[in-house]
Amino acid sequence: MSKMKNKSILLIIFMLIIGWYLLIPKEEEFELPIFTPADLRATLVHPSLVGKTEHTIPNFTFINQDSLTITQDTLKEKIYVVDFFFTSCPSICIDLTKNLKLVQEAFKDSDDVFILSHSVDPKYDTVSRLKQYGEIHDINSKQWFLLRGTIEQITEMAQLGYFAIAEFKNHTEYELIHTENVILVDQNRHIRGIYNGTSPIDIGYLIDDINKLLE
């Protein structure tokens, strides 16, 4: 009789625990933020944009390693990852490229995810050099665009579009834009994440966040 009573008590306790668990409000699924100038340090934002609460990546036109013109329309309703590099860079660009290859591998079968690497040394990084760099690093030119334009175009996009430079400066071809920042842009041309591209851990977060945008 005592054993039956104990079993009944245990069953009641078990049912109470299950009921309590079912009644707990489920946490809302985490949604990636949309970054605007107002969300960032003033040193990351062009003076004309400081405090603004809306931001969309501006239109752009660049040439890739296959001599193709790449514009905002090429990436219409696509997710893309942005970084800035130059092919002769002996330091952080090596890690950036190595880590972005993890992104390329993770989404190699996707038609909705792209990588845009902007050369900040267009004088040296000709189309043929970008092509050679891509071949050396096994870059898929259909998904990963190595881009060149004038230094003015690149600087404008880095500063006014992607907030990729730590301090606002008037860069020249002799003063290269050097940043480890990698930017995630969604299907609506909104910035959804900024990551340290030299960190494999951050790249892991980036891949997770891309998957969230694909859901």
Identify the CATH number of the domain in which residue 138 sits. 3.40.30.10
Determine the average pLDDT of the residues in 44-61: 89
Q: Assess if residue 7 is contained within a domain.
A: no
Asked if pLDDT for residue 89 goes beyond 80, the answer is yes
**Number of structural domains found in the chain:** 1
* Arithmetic mean of pLDDT over the chain: 86
Q: Assess if residue 32 is contained within a domain.
A: no
Q: Assess if residue 84 is contained within a domain.
A: yes
- How much is the pLDDT for 167? 56
What domain range is 121 assigned to? Answer: 37-214
Asked if pLDDT for residue 21 goes beyond 50, the answer is no
What are phi and psi for residue 63, nearest 5 degrees? -110, 135
- How much is the pLDDT for 163? 87
Q: Report the predicted TM-score, pTM, of the whole model to 2 decimal places.
A: 0.82
